[in-house]
Structure 1
Amino acid sequence: MPQIVMSKLKGQKLDKTVQSKSFAFLQKLAADDTSPGLHIEPMQKAADARARTGRVDQYWRAVLFKLDQKNGESIYVYDGTWPHDEAIERARTRVLHFNPINGITEIIEQGMPPAGELLPDYPPVIQKPNKPAESFLATHGYVLTDLTDALGFDALVAQRIFAATSEDELLQMSESLANQWQIDALLGLAVGDTVEKIRESLGFGAGPVEPGVGPEPLAEETEDDRLAKGLQHPAARMQFTFIENDEELQRVIEGGDFGAWRVFLHPEQRKYAEKDFNGAFRMSGGAGTGKTVVLLHRARRLARESTSARIVLTTFTKALSSALERDLERLDPAIPWAKGLGKPGVLVRGIDALAVAVRDTAGAQFGQAAEHVFGTPIEPRGSLVGNDIGWREAIDDADVDLPEPLQSPSFFEGEYLQVILPNRVTSQEAYFKVRRPGRGIALDRRKRVAVWAVVEQYRQSARHMGSLSFSEVSAIASAYLEHSVEGGLADHVLVDEGQDLTPLHWQLLRALAGEHKNDLFIAEDTHQRIYGHPVVLSRYGIKITGRSRRLTLNYRTTQQNLRFALGVLEGADFVDSDGNEENEHGYRSARSGPLPRVVSATSESGQYDNVAEVIKGWLADDEISPETVAVLTRSRNQGLKLKDQLADRGVIAAVAEPGDAGAGHPVVLTMHKAKGMEFSRVLLFNVSEGSIPNTWALKGVAPEELDDAMLRERSLLYVAASRARDELVISWAGKASPLLEQSTAPESQPLGAN
């Protein structure tokens, strides 16, 4: 039976009928390529003797390249389904080519440079007298041989690239390159990556080969064998994938652009999904760089390697955990699901639900473990309440003299979550001694006496009510695991959205997995921290020194939208989970598109008119599915009101989550709920002064936490802006949010004013 290899195609959108016929054709081809009904025909006067076409129906034909390996096995590289005449022309003019510099198999077009299929002839740059335009790459220290002898670009294409005078011109060229490795290499050059870093990220090896010299084939290796090997290169697998079964074949054909992540991984993504680590590993990266994709592929890899492995996949919210479970099912419908915590297979839970699962597993021992947290055992069962519940009442009931900065419930919630529970402080004497790094406000002995009185009142009231906060459940769960379960209840714990987890969550995860190979794999983006406070992992027994890497290539949004989103972060200081300053240098996008648009209004009603106009414009395009259009709001109440206002203007929208109003409708949801999602078109609603940063949300924040709360507001807008794949529109009424100062000019284009 021949092997089918699918190629990632640009610009091909087949309707479901043609998709179904293509699937049936490839099914038959994989079963028996000698079947006369397939009409597999070699091309006359073809540029590549391996080129074939096959009959999908009377109008459509599949373009193929056939490799006959020395071991007797055949490979068909599928290059798309096309109308009859176009398929014939494509098969006659395209060549399956082995690049001798980097070892990658690629598809090129006869008569065009091997490294570029559709490079346009760029018009000459208009130059001012006495100021000739300089090569962008030359001014950044590159030489032409970096492209040809080290990376594998054809000489003519390399010369055209080297003639580009700006980063934008390079990005424009990348859109026309034929093969994915070329696009990624050019993007790396555009942001100033070293040649060595580009080679390493694409899996080209430790260093450049000698000029003009590539790897020689083995004596017994045929050219078809060499091409087959080149298809397996990590960088080639961004563009080609070997099909294992009919289910995978159908997913690839029907997946489209939104499903490409399930098949085509960047070499760096694949490395982190497949590599073993001697301990905890952290993978950071901006929004859209594929961190969650790596996590899902890694979970599948670990599950396939061992049927007895206990794998836990967790994240910050229930909604995000549901999305992880859904996407893992899409990636591999045969994934083995665990029947419960501590059982073989994959268990997906939100972090708070995971703590509750530990409580349920512990039974009566959970109440005994509370002695390590409270100084006394408790009843193991009780109602669960939010971490913010009960502090105002405790402050009032304790009736102690608190300075004004300490009279805020948010101060006590933060002190409890970040200091008292993680350090298992059970007495006033212990509280006198505990360190409080990062809390922002100093407490002398007198103030600590007053604070502890409130904490004791809070705990006494909670025990009387029979309630536990979610943070207390996490604290007791980790204590139970540490003292009662040797080695933990999981072999591998994979964490998404790690930047939002609290110290108590990290203590729980540390105890859940124990310390061993591949114990903790953490995906995070400091710039997307919209819930918690900064955490240094080493303080909680998670050692990642030397085991931390960053993804920089954005697959979701366009370069134009990415620039806007990154502009929101300008002027702010972020610290990662290793305690180091985090910056956005090196982030780039593999896609290009229109500039973000600004829709400003002088009144609330005018803003609703503008939003309705934008959405109607998008929905008028038959190629845009309504459910891929999203309007993001700062609050749920804003969204509910917006839905009614849009309905009055003839636009029916879903609220809160996709699917609420059925298929065929745009989605209105909060910026928080949009975390982890992506949409083709996104409108950010009411990015106005007072709305974001949100005046109401900041009102009760303790003074020492105000700066961090402002960072979270900035991160929230960054998260929202980075949900857009293709188009981004920003709407406000009156004055724009001050957070837009770095992002609205010169990238954005006002649509109009009302």
Structure 2
Amino acid sequence: MPNLIMTKLKGQDHEKAVRAKIMSFLSKLTEDDTLPGLHIEPMNEPLDSRARTGRVDIHLRAVLYCLEPLAGERTYVYAGTWEHEEAIKRARTRKLQINPVNGIAELIEAEPAVDAPAPAAPKVWTESAQAGAAPSSFLTEKSYFVADLTDEFGFPADLAAEAFAAATEDELLAFASDLENEWQSGVLLGMAMNLAISQIKESLGITEADDNAVVTEPAVADEVAEPDRTEDERLVEALKHPAAQMQFTFIEGEEELQRVIDGGDFGAWRVFLHPDQRRYATRSYKGPFRLTGGAGTGKTVVLLHRAKHLAEQHPTHRVVLTTYTRALADNLRRDLERLDPDLAQASAPGHPGVLVRGVDQLVAAVRDAAGTGFGAAAQSVLGAVVESRGAVVANDSGWDDAVDDADVDLPAALRSKSFLSVEYLQVILANRIVTKDDYFTVRRPGRGVALDRAKRAQVWAVVEQYRKNARIANRLSFAEVASVSAAWLEGADGESPRTFADHILIDEAQDLTPSHWRFLRAVTASGPDDMFIADDTHQRIYGQPVVLSRLDIAIVGRSRRLTLNYRTTEQNLRYALGLLEGGTFIDAQGGEEGVAGYRSSRLGPEPKSLPTQSASVQFAVLAAQVKSWLDAGVDGATIAVLTTSNNAAKDVHDALDHHGVASTILTNAKQSGDRPVILTMHIAKGLEFSRVILFDISEGSFPTPWSLKGVAAEDRDDVMLRERSLLYVAASRARDELVVTWKGKPSELLLRSE
């Protein structure tokens, strides 16, 4: 049975009926490529003698390259389905080869030698050059040379000249996005980020002496070419190069073939990984590893592939994949099943296989497993034994009552539940403080307000009252349950320590509390590949910053950043990053996290602002924008209106209905149906849409008044930082087009980007 390699190509967004025909053709091809109905035919005078076409239907033909390794089955590289004449042309004029410099398998275009025309002059991308002015070069200004592309990476001379004809960054990105070979686009994107040649090579998995590189000097070729291997065998190996796997993938079975054909652009993450993504997904680490990166850079993709990799490498191990909320965990579970429906999933916490749960779901499972031991373990965290069962409440519940009952003379700012709940979470629970003396001596980094001994004594009186009230009511906060569960895992009940996972992978880690981190550290024993952490400091929309070293999680030297955005366009990315200007973001290592270096692999229109003077006009403008997209044939399910609250979402739904636009309100992070959707910015986290409207980003509406209500003055800056991050999260949901509306004056958080 022949093997099949699929190729990621532009211009292959076929309709469902055509995809079904392609699936049928390729299925038959892999069963028996000699079937007469397939019409597998070689080309007349092709550039590549391996080129073939096959009949998909009366109008469509598949382009194929037939490789015949001596030691294995015949292998077909599928290079797309095209109209008959276009397929014939592509099969005659494109060659599948090993790049002679870097060893990466690639498709190159040229006319067959028998009728090759004179080479065309390089395309000039600059308007100034077309007008007769002396052309400038973006790459030259970045101190690159044409030889960097030709000699270091193996670009053809004409293609390198075209790249150096780009006068601006946008012109270079436009040129890169049109290239057929993904590795070439990757090189130019790296140069747009002004990376060193060595950094670009490392990112693409290109080594100085690549085993697949073709040696052109005959004397060396005799020593290195490995005469026992045919050119086709070498080409099959070159197709496995990390950079080639951005574009080519080996198909194993009909189900995987169906997933690749049906995946389209939104599903490419399941198959075609950047070498950096593949490296992080499969490499082994000596301890906790942190992968950071902006929205859309593929952190979750790496996490999913790593879960699959660990489960396949260690079938008896317990692999836990977790995130901040249950809804996000449900999305992870769905995507993991899409990645590999046959992947072994654990039946319960602590069992072999992959277990996907929200972090508080994991905490609840451990509490259940602890039984009476949970109550005993509470002594080390809360200073008293508690009931093993009881109500679980929000982390900010009960503080107003504790202040009233304690009857202390605290300043107003320190009496607020905002200050007290954060002090309890970030300082007292994080350090397992159970006595006043311990509280007097504990460090409080990052809290923003100094407390002398007298104020600490008053705060501690409120904390004691809070804990006393909770015991009487038989309740614990979510953070307390996590902290006690961690203590039980560590053996605070007098038993030996226990673990529930061999590997734990954490998504959206920037939103976790210190109690969560104590718990997750205890879930798995310290050792190789124990914790894999994916976060983005700029997407922290809950809680406060956490420095992991203070919680016994050492990531120094084991932290890397993804910078290439796969979701949104370069224009939308710049807009979203602009919303972060003016904020200081502290990462999990305690350092400042900037936004420099991020780039997108896609271009599109500039984000559009729609200012209005009244609520009614804003609704009308919103409806007109949604209608224009629908009239243009945009799939309704890929259009989203993001709001600040559920009430605002209902108002938008009613207004769209009034203007004749049917829509659906989403109350959780699950896409469904075929209508435009309305959801809050918080719910939108983890989702993506083709078109996005940020609704009513007006002065007085965003940030919402309630987000600042009762907030201590010392905490206001951090709340505003989270609101800025929320706006960034919302803007970065848009793949293709982004629209922002407001009435009256825009929000102060928009002013830097408008």
- TM more than 0.5: yes
Of stretches 601-610 and 27-36 in structure 1, the one that deviates more from structure 2 is 27-36
Of stretches 214-223 and 421-430 in structure 1, the one that deviates more from structure 2 is 214-223
Does structure 1 residue 406 correspond to structure 2 residue 418?
Answer: no
Does structure 1 residue 730 correspond to structure 2 residue 744?
Answer: no
Distance 1:25 1:593 in 2: 34
Superposition pairs for residues 97-496 of structure 1, below 5 Å? 97-111=97-111, 121-122=123-124, 125-126=127-128, 132-205=134-207, 217-483=225-491, 484=495, 486=497, 488-496=499-507
Distance 2:683 2:120 in 1: 40
* Partner SS, residue 711 of structure 2: coil
Q: Deviations over 1:305-353 (max 9, x none)?
A: 1221101111111111110011001101011111111111111111111
Give the alignment's TM-score, normalised by structure 2.
0.95
Q: Deviations over 1:417-446 (max 9, x none)?
A: 101111111122221121111111111111
Shift of 1:168: 1.2
* Partner SS, residue 80 of structure 1: strand
Q: Deviations over 1:467-524 (max 9, x none)?
A: 1110000010110011145352100000001111111111111111110110000000
Distance 2:558 2:591 in 1: 14
Distance 2:133 2:442 in 1: 65
Gaps of 5+ in 1: 745-754
In structure 1, the partner of 2:539 is: 528
- Are 2:425 and 2:479, in contact at CA under 8 Å, matched by a contact in 1? yes
- What residue identity is the alignment partner of 1:32? D
- Cα 1:687–1:314 change in 2 (3 A) is same
- Are 1:654 and 1:661, in contact at CA under 8 Å, matched by a contact in 2? no
Shift of 1:364: 1.1
In structure 1, the partner of 2:606 is: 595
State which of 628, 639, 644 in structure 2 corresponds to 1:629: 639
Shift of 1:32: 1.6
In structure 2, the partner of 1:38 is: 38
Q: Deviations over 1:31-51 (max 9, x none)?
A: 221222222111122221111
Distance 1:464 1:386 in 2: 17
Does structure 1 residue 540 correspond to structure 2 residue 546?
Answer: no
Shift of 1:229: 1.3
* Partner SS, residue 379 of structure 1: coil
Distance 1:510 1:373 in 2: 16
In structure 1, the partner of 2:70 is: 70
In structure 1, the partner of 2:727 is: 717
Distance 2:396 2:669 in 1: 31
- Are 1:658 and 1:667, in contact at CA under 8 Å, matched by a contact in 2? no
Gaps of 5+ in 2: none
Distance 1:112 1:611 in 2: 53
Distance 2:41 2:295 in 1: 46
In structure 2, the partner of 1:646 is: 656
- Are 2:331 and 2:670, in contact at CA under 8 Å, matched by a contact in 1? no
Distance 2:347 2:422 in 1: 35
- Cα 1:124–1:275 change in 2 (3 A) is closer
Q: Deviations over 1:607-638 (max 9, x none)?
A: 1001100000111122x211111000111111
Distance 1:586 1:480 in 2: 43
Does structure 1 residue 585 correspond to structure 2 residue 611?
Answer: no
Shift of 1:119: 11
Q: Deviations over 1:379-398 (max 9, x none)?
A: 10001111111111111111
Q: Deviations over 1:193-238 (max 9, x none)?
A: 1111100000001589999879853222222122111110000000
Distance 1:351 1:320 in 2: 10
- Cα 1:128–1:325 change in 2 (3 A) is closer
In structure 2, the partner of 1:90 is: 90
In structure 2, the partner of 1:80 is: 80
- What residue identity is the alignment partner of 2:753? S
Q: Deviations over 1:257-291 (max 9, x none)?
A: 11000000000000000101010000000000000
- Are 1:574 and 1:581, in contact at CA under 8 Å, matched by a contact in 2? yes
Distance 1:486 1:210 in 2: 55
In structure 2, the partner of 1:693 is: 703
- What residue identity is the alignment partner of 1:5? I
* Partner SS, residue 673 of structure 1: helix
- Are 1:120 and 1:176, in contact at CA under 8 Å, matched by a contact in 2? no
- Cα 1:492–1:727 change in 2 (3 A) is same
Shift of 1:118: 12
Shift of 1:694: 2.3
- Are 2:664 and 2:678, in contact at CA under 8 Å, matched by a contact in 1? yes
Of stretches 628-637 and 70-79 in structure 1, the one that deviates more from structure 2 is 70-79
Distance 2:543 2:637 in 1: 31
- What residue identity is the alignment partner of 2:583? A
In structure 2, the partner of 1:752 is: none
Distance 2:700 2:215 in 1: 60
State which of 605, 611, 621 in structure 2 corresponds to 1:610: 621
Shift of 1:693: 2.3
Distance 1:425 1:385 in 2: 20
Shift of 1:131: 8.2
- Are 2:282 and 2:306, in contact at CA under 8 Å, matched by a contact in 1? yes
Distance 1:207 1:499 in 2: 39
Of stretches 87-96 and 234-243 in structure 1, the one that deviates more from structure 2 is 87-96
* Partner SS, residue 102 of structure 1: coil
- Are 1:384 and 1:469, in contact at CA under 8 Å, matched by a contact in 2? yes
- Are 1:285 and 1:550, in contact at CA under 8 Å, matched by a contact in 2? yes
Q: Deviations over 1:42-68 (max 9, x none)?
A: 112222111111122222221110011
Distance 1:239 1:665 in 2: 33
Of stretches 434-443 and 491-500 in structure 1, the one that deviates more from structure 2 is 434-443
State which of 509, 512, 523 in structure 2 corresponds to 1:498: 509
Q: Deviations over 1:715-734 (max 9, x none)?
A: 11110000000111011111
- Are 2:6 and 2:251, in contact at CA under 8 Å, matched by a contact in 1? yes
Distance 1:123 1:476 in 2: 63
- Are 2:38 and 2:55, in contact at CA under 8 Å, matched by a contact in 1? yes
- Cα 1:662–1:568 change in 2 (3 A) is closer
Distance 1:344 1:290 in 2: 27
Distance 1:659 1:455 in 2: 36
In structure 1, the partner of 2:16 is: 16
Distance 1:302 1:349 in 2: 17
In structure 2, the partner of 1:569 is: 580
Distance 2:722 2:628 in 1: 32
- Cα 1:702–1:123 change in 2 (3 A) is closer
Q: Deviations over 1:547-593 (max 9, x none)?
A: 11000000000000000001111122111101111111110000001
User: What's the RMSD between the two structures over aligned residues?
Assistant: 2.3
- Cα 1:217–1:207 change in 2 (3 A) is closer
Counting aligned pairs with the same residue, the percent is 56
- Are 2:668 and 2:683, in contact at CA under 8 Å, matched by a contact in 1? no
